[in-house]
Structure 1
Amino acid sequence: MRSPAPAAARIHVIGAGPGGLTCARVLQRHGIPVTVHERDPHPRARDQGGTLDLHADDGQVALREAGLLDGFFRLARPEGQEMRLLDPAGRLLDHHVPAEDELFKPEIDRGALRDLLLGSLEPGTVRWGQAVEQVTGPAGGPRRVRFTDGTSVEADLVVGADGAFSRVRPAVSAAVPRYTGVTFLEAWFQDVGNAHPDLAELVGQGGATAADGDRALFAQRNGGDHIRVYVIQRLPAGWIAANGLNAGDTAGIRSWLLDAFSGWSPSLLRMISGNDGRYVDRPLFALPVPHAWERSPSVTLLGDAAHLMPPLGAGANLAMLDACELALALAGSATVAEAVAAYETTMLPRAAEAARALEHGAEALLERHQSGELAALAPPRR
Structure 2
Amino acid sequence: MIYLDNNATTQIDPEVLAVMLPFLTDNFANASSTHAFGLGANDAVKNARQQVADLIGSQPHEIVFTSGATEAINLAIKGVAENYSSIGKHIITVQTEHSAVLDVCKYLETKGFDITFLPVQSDGMIDLAVFKASLRPDTILVSVMLVNNELGTIQPIKEIAKLTHEVGALFMTDGTQAVGKLPINVDELDIDLMTMSAHKFYGTKGVGALFVRQRRNRLIKLGALLHGGGHEGGKRSGTLNVVGIVSMGKAAELCQQKMKVDTQSIGALRDELEKALLQIPDTSINGNTVHRLYNTTNIKFKGCDSDALIMGLQDIAVSNGSACTSASIDPSHVLMALGMTETEAFSCIRFSFGRFNKAEEIPVVVEAVRKVVESLRAWN
TM range (shorter): under 0.3
Q: Relative to total residues, which structure has the larger helix share, 1 or 2? A: 2
- With structure 1 as the length reference, what TM-score do the two structures score? 0.25
- With structure 2 as the length reference, what TM-score do the two structures score? 0.25
